[in-house]
Amino acid sequence: MRIKLLFLGMFAIMTQTLAQSGYSSHSQLSTRLKALPAKSKLASVNSIGKSSGGKDIWAVTLSGGDHSKNKAVLIVAGADGRHPAGTEMAAKLAERLVSLPADSLTGLLQNKTIYIIPGLNPDALEQVSAQLKYERSGNAAARDDDRDGKTDEDPFEDLNGDGLITRLRIEDPTGNYVISKDDARVLVKADAAKGENGRYLLITEGTDNDKDGRFNEDGAGGVNIDKNFTYNYPMFEKEAGEYQASEPETRAFLDFLYKNTNIHTVFHFGLSNNLSEATRFDRANASKRIISGLQEKDAEVTDRVSKMYGKAGITDAPVLPQTPGNLTQTAYYHAGRFSYSTPGWWIPKAKDQKGGAPAKKPEAGNAEAEYLKWADAKGVNSFVPWTRVEHTDFPGKSVEVGGLMPYALNNPPVQFLDSAVIRHQAFFTDYLKAMPRTEIVNTKVESLGNGVSRVSVTVVNKGLLPTYPEIGERVRFVYKVSCKIKLSEGQTLISGKLNNYRGALDAGESEEYSWLISGKGKVTVEGGSPTSGISNLELTLK
Amino acid sequence: MKKILILLISLTAFHVKAQKTDIAAEDLNGIRAIGSPANPKVKVYWNKYSDHAEIHRISSDLAKAYPDLVKLQSIGKSVEGRDIWLMSITDFKTGEADRKPGFYIDGNIHANELQGTEVALYTAWYLAENFHTVDFIRELLRDKVFYIAPTISPDSREYFIKQANNPNSSRTGRMPMDDDGDGLIDEDLLDDLDGDGNIVMMRRKSPTGRYKVDCDNPQRMVLAKADEPGEYEMLGYEGIDNDGDGRVNEDAVGTYDPNRDWGWNWQPDYIQRGALYYPGMLPETKAVKKFILEHPNIAGAQSYHNYGGMFLRGPGAADDEKYYSRADVQVYDYIGKLGEKMVPGYNYFVIHKDLYTVFGGEIDWLALGKGIFTFSNELMTSYKLFNQKSSEGRFQNTEFEDFDKLLLFGDGYVKWKPFKHPQFGDIEIGGPKKNYIRNHPGFLLMEDSHRNMAFTILHAHQMPKLEVVETRKKDLGGGLTEITATVMNRRIIPTHSAHDVRYKIERPDYISLKGASVLAGMIVENEDFGVTKEQKMQPEKIAVENIPGMGFVKVRWIVKGKTDTASVEVDSAKGGLVSQKLQ
């Protein structure tokens, strides 16, 4: 018993020393994902491409039947390497889904496919288990980040030998930072409006190897995939890459998205949020030549989905705006799919104690202080206390190493993700139920005599969401709602078109089609769209 | 002394003799027409278009005939597996080829725009065949390197040449696509109804038609007047509804645009028709991008198109106008305005202002993505038909019809003829042949190739030429010497465009002092008033952000000890390598 307690105690200490403990590296993730098909015959795992460092990018497919024939949602994570929590949540979700009782998984996946790409940036993910930990966002592409003609010449240095890259604070008359009033461990920018004068310089841990006056500005870690997508691309920005979609990871994802024309919605566990609070419709932005606002109908749908998200018990999400060149906006504006992002996990809002004095809240925007308050309460030690070091670039100055551990802010110890995963699973279950469902109804064959028949059908969307977003109407690679008739030998079409195409069908919307056909025998009618399901039926003309 | 003189004379004589052996006898007498080799080693007819085999024949013959001037390589394969050929042309015996300022030329990205390939091939041929006879070319190839890819759409070029097409078809590449979203790929192509290799127009006599035959020119169809009945309806290009969906020719192979597949301000298909999923989806554009990225010495570029007679510069979109600073525009203006004199009938234009908006085009990526001074010539203009600008618009004037009648004797058009169409019934087919209108008639092709080549050589010649024009030593006492070097750029193109400097596209130029112990180094901003800016790190290797066109930079070092073996070395990505012993 005593041994058990001791063991537990040790475990507790371990989890407390490394904030990011429990995160899978890319190779560990690969092992976890490859184990999925053994748990359910509805699961398969494939590589959709290789990273710039030559690592496989895995896609898990969960589908009842032929995955490409079913309407689908795509869940993706880890585009920005600073967010292993997203990867962990996506992987946990896949693990939970395959562990469902066989009949409930089959029910969930009836005519539907879930694709999950948990780690879109494997090179960056590998960093969570590296000897030296720093928040690496980029892939393995060798980039001259500061464009000085030298590649990766000014990386971080672990000055205090703790295996973590934190920060340096230097007492210096030119410093812009002061000690936060909320938390003495945290530095905040001096606010002249409040009569504050800066006291510290605050930089990342390391030395100025190339003596250009900038610290650690060009280390290993090339392109942040969540900055390399095609929409609103930040050309010439650090970590954005050579040009739009220059990176193999970006291309692998876009190829997968565009070629799987059945993908209706993309969910991204990432460092932006348009899910908890829907983006508002803005007519001016929506009608520009280069469209930069949600289309009107899409804004309305997005609002509904946002409410669905709240109903699943997912609340208090932080405001995290969309960033240039990111996956989520590209999937909507360029690929024409519904596209949502959420960090998935965040610090729960501090609840006021009943009857007691209201809890003292850190000043809004002081994310570090808020985080530390939560971490202290949970016993998560994710702070390296400031300690003095000698630093050759600052001779004779007070230089201290310390600060939040890398990854800490957005990536809690993995066990804290569990409840978020459960809630998101509930949300995805609701979402799958709401997906569009095109059906052929009210079928009629009327004989007009002399071997002429009129065939009429109605294509209706019985789901709660449109067949595809309004923006999809413009996108060449989003296949439109169609209703087609195939005739047999000896039949001729007197009126009507063989192939009819139309725009998206909203929830409950329908359209009737009819044909005049001369001749007897079988005809086949096919209706729907890849994102809402395509159904077939055979009729006989007498 | 005498001996030395004799030796010198004999050396010179030998030199002249050696040179003479490289010049064909015909080039030294009156057979030679000025400007053209009289007996070139590689024989080419310049009044026809080259298919893929002929492109390879000319390129590899040049490489074989001039191994010290022309090297041929494949930079990648097309969708259908054809090689994308590229010739590197320089004086390989002098200097390191890929460190000289490089000029990139391609043609025919739009495969129906054939003659870009011919101008590119002509340029390669001309440079090699005139190296020994024209001093200017010899110097040009000593200083610079040309990278010439005659076609970067080899599949569609072959398809345009060998299969039935119209002047505007086969602009796309050959990657199969489902254009109409019916899940079938390439199921409704153009159809050459009469099997003559040309896709022309279909017309049908109809009481409801709004067109009539132009009475002055029976080849031409014109709209009837507003209050006048017409005789014909126009049914589009030759074709059949192959898939029975009620539409004709709606799903051709490809139908994307390789010139919307580049990584600068790329926009999706609904904004920029012809774009794919993202820039760089095609193996052809990928191969070119890879080559450009591997050759940071490329300082100038030309991409030949047709038609309209234009020297186009970027930007392709109005919102990129902000990236064109005055200094960069002045360089373009110099070349573009001289061009208008060199190629009569051609105009110097800005794409988005004078043509139309293009997002994701090749020349924007070259100019703004990579900071390369780039022009795109739209070859062929109706000005060339009668050496004058028509006062009327294209659809009112009859220049092409008149030219066909007077100079081509009717070779330009398929005359209207009856045809039994399986769906339209009795129709007539006729119209311009695929190689008329956009592509030059044979006898105009060589002249325009030469003029456009000359324009591009003007452009290439103005790429940076760096020279250490002065080095000065001053004894500072105490064993210290001050060395000042002035590096000049003898051409108008800077080593970095202003845009490049602003966004740090290319690394800085380095001016180094070698073979001396450097204590301090600095850029001299104003020598007369002693304004300098010290470089604290690596003072022996001064980084300068740019060496301006027709301008200079001055750098200074403080050196300890001996300086007699010291030399100044200039290392510029786009300006080349130059070194100069200290005087």
Per residue in A463-478, pLDDT (tens digit) is 999 999 999 999 999 9
Closest-CA residue of A relative to B573 is A149
Q: Please determine, for residue B4, whether its predicted confidence score (pLDDT) is greater than 80.
A: no
User: What confidence score (pLDDT) does residue B11 get?
Assistant: 47
Q: What is the pTM of this model?
A: 0.93
Q: Please determine, for residue A503, whether its predicted confidence score (pLDDT) is greater than 80.
A: yes
Closest-CA residue of B relative to A209 is B537
Query: Is residue B368 within 8 Å of residue B316, measured between CB atoms?
Result: no
**Chain B hits for A246, Cβ within 8 Å:** 263, 280
State the amino acid at position A388 in one-letter form.
R
Mean pLDDT score, B203-224: 92
Highest mean pLDDT pick, A227-231, B6-10, B428-432: A227-231
Is the CB of A245 less than 8 angstroms away from the CB of B263? yes
Mutation target to probe the B interface, by most B beta carbons within 10 A, among A476, A483, A529 is A476
Mutation target to probe the B interface, by most B beta carbons within 10 A, among A211, A233, A244, A295 is A244
Q: Please determine, for residue A17, whether its predicted confidence score (pLDDT) is greater than 50.
A: no
* Strand partners of residue A321: none
**Chain B hits for A333, Cβ within 8 Å:** 268
Is the CB of A475 less than 8 angstroms away from the CB of B245? no
Nearest-Cα distance to chain A for B179, in Å, is 8
User: What confidence score (pLDDT) does residue B10 get?
Assistant: 47
Query: Is residue B52 within 8 Å of residue B111, measured between CB atoms?
Result: no
A326-341 residue pLDDT tens: 999 999 999 999 999 9
| Minimum-distance CB partner of B263 among A244, A335, A499 | A244
Mutation target to probe the A interface, by most A beta carbons within 10 A, among B250, B277, B281 is B277
Dist CA B173 CA B250 (whole Å): 16
Residue A387 CA, chain-centre distance (Å), reads 37
User: What confidence score (pLDDT) does residue B249 get?
Assistant: 74
User: What confidence score (pLDDT) does residue A1 get?
Assistant: 40
Q: Please determine, for residue B17, whether its predicted confidence score (pLDDT) is greater than 60.
A: no
Is the CB of A477 less than 8 angstroms away from the CB of B277? yes
Is the CB of A290 less than 8 angstroms away from the CB of B246? no
A286-327 residue pLDDT tens: 999 999 999 999 999 999 999 999 999 998 899 999 999 999
User: What confidence score (pLDDT) does residue B406 get?
Assistant: 95
A150-189 residue pLDDT tens: 888 889 999 999 999 999 999 999 999 999 999 999 999 9
Mean pLDDT score, B147-176: 92
Nearest-Cα distance to chain A for B184, in Å, is 12
Confidence of residue B185 (pLDDT cuts 50, 70, 90): low
User: What confidence score (pLDDT) does residue A217 get?
Assistant: 87
Mean pLDDT score, B523-531: 94
User: What confidence score (pLDDT) does residue B183 get?
Assistant: 61
User: What confidence score (pLDDT) does residue A311 get?
Assistant: 94
User: What confidence score (pLDDT) does residue A129 get?
Assistant: 86
B307: preceding bond cis by omega (within 30 degrees): yes
Look over chain A and give the mean of its residue pLDDT values, rounded to a whole number: 91
Dist CA B564 CA B583 (whole Å): 8
User: What confidence score (pLDDT) does residue A364 get?
Assistant: 58
**Chain A hits for B244, Cβ within 8 Å:** 498
Q: Which residues of B touch A (CB under 8 A)?
A: 179, 181-183, 244-246, 262-264, 266-271, 277-280, 293, 365, 369, 503-505, 507-508, 510, 536-537, 543
Helix, coil or strand: residue A117: strand
> How many alpha carbons fall within 13 Å on the CB side of residue B74?
12
Q: Please determine, for residue A18, whether its predicted confidence score (pLDDT) is greater than 80.
A: no
**Chain A hits for B277, Cβ within 8 Å:** 245, 254-255, 258, 335, 477
Nearest-Cα distance to chain B for A53, in Å, is 18
Q: Please determine, for residue A353, whether its predicted confidence score (pLDDT) is greater than 50.
A: no
Q: Which tokens is A80 given?
A: 């920005």
Confidence of residue B231 (pLDDT cuts 50, 70, 90): very high
Q: Which tokens is A1 given?
A: 């018993």
Q: Which residues of A touch B (CB under 8 A)?
A: 144, 146-149, 210-212, 230, 233, 235-236, 242-246, 250-251, 254-255, 258, 289-291, 333-335, 474-477, 479-480, 482, 484, 497-499, 501
User: What confidence score (pLDDT) does residue A524 get?
Assistant: 97
Confidence of residue B395 (pLDDT cuts 50, 70, 90): low
Is the CB of B181 less than 8 angstroms away from the CB of A482? yes
| Minimum-distance CB partner of B271 among A244, A289, A499 | A289
**Chain B hits for A244, Cβ within 8 Å:** 263, 266, 278-279
Closest-CA residue of A relative to B501 is A147
Confidence of residue B12 (pLDDT cuts 50, 70, 90): very low
User: What confidence score (pLDDT) does residue B559 get?
Assistant: 97
Q: Please determine, for residue A138, whether its predicted confidence score (pLDDT) is greater than 70.
A: yes
* Strand partners of residue B576: B572
Is the CB of A244 less than 8 angstroms away from the CB of B537? no
**CB under 8 Å to B2, separation ≥6 — which residues?**
none
Of residues A319 and A73, more confidence is placed in A73
**Chain B hits for A250, Cβ within 8 Å:** 278
A202-231 residue pLDDT tens: 999 999 988 888 888 888 879 999 999 999
Q: Sheet of B552-560: strands edge to edge?
A: B466-477, B480-489, B552-560, B517-526, B531-534
B251-292 residue pLDDT tens: 666 689 999 999 999 999 999 999 999 999 999 999 999 999
Query: Is residue B302 within 8 Å of residue B378, measured between CB atoms?
Result: no
Query: Is residue B154 within 8 Å of residue B106, measured between CB atoms?
Result: no
Helix, coil or strand: residue A476: coil
Q: Please determine, for residue B18, whether its predicted confidence score (pLDDT) is greater than 80.
A: no
Out of B246-250, B293-297, B498-502, pick the least confident.
B246-250
In this predicted complex, what is the ipTM?
0.91
**Chain A hits for B176, Cβ within 8 Å:** none
Is the CB of B280 less than 8 angstroms away from the CB of A333? no
Look over chain B and give the mean of its residue pLDDT values, rounded to a whole number: 92
| Minimum-distance CB partner of A212 among B269, B369, B537 | B537
User: What confidence score (pLDDT) does residue A152 get?
Assistant: 84
| Minimum-distance CB partner of B269 among A290, A333, A476 | A476
Closest-CA residue of A relative to B539 is A211
User: What confidence score (pLDDT) does residue B35 get?
Assistant: 93
Closest CA to B483 of B443, B514, B456, B509: B514
Phi, psi of A494 (to 5 degrees): -95, -35
Of residues B12 and A351, more confidence is placed in A351
Confidence of residue B101 (pLDDT cuts 50, 70, 90): very high
**CB under 8 Å to A229, separation ≥6 — which residues?**
A244, A245, A250, A254, A325, A326, A327, A329, A330, A334
Characterize the bridge pairing of strands B310-313 and B347-350: parallel
Nearest-Cα distance to chain B for A251, in Å, is 8
Q: Please determine, for residue A349, whether its predicted confidence score (pLDDT) is greater than 90.
A: no
Confidence of residue A11 (pLDDT cuts 50, 70, 90): very low
Mean pLDDT score, B2-24: 53
Confidence of residue A64 (pLDDT cuts 50, 70, 90): confident
Is the CB of B277 less than 8 angstroms away from the CB of A255? yes
Q: How many CB pairs under 8 A join A and B?
A: 89
**CB under 8 Å to B277, separation ≥6 — which residues?**
A245, A254, A255, A258, A335, A477
Is the CB of A230 less than 8 angstroms away from the CB of B504? no
Nearest-Cα distance to chain A for B105, in Å, is 22
Nearest-Cα distance to chain A for B194, in Å, is 28
Query: Is residue B289 within 8 Å of residue B366, measured between CB atoms?
Result: no
Closest CA to A235 of B289, B329, B262: B262
Nearest-Cα distance to chain B for A289, in Å, is 7
Nearest-Cα distance to chain B for A310, in Å, is 33
Query: Is residue B232 within 8 Å of residue B224, measured between CB atoms?
Result: no
**Chain B hits for A475, Cβ within 8 Å:** 268-270
Is the CB of A474 less than 8 angstroms away from the CB of B270? yes
Distances B393 to B168, B389, B430, B524 between C-alpha atoms, Å: 19, 10, 22, 57
B30-54 residue pLDDT tens: 899 999 999 999 999 999 999 999 9
Is the CB of A480 less than 8 angstroms away from the CB of B505? no
Is the CB of A243 less than 8 angstroms away from the CB of B369? yes
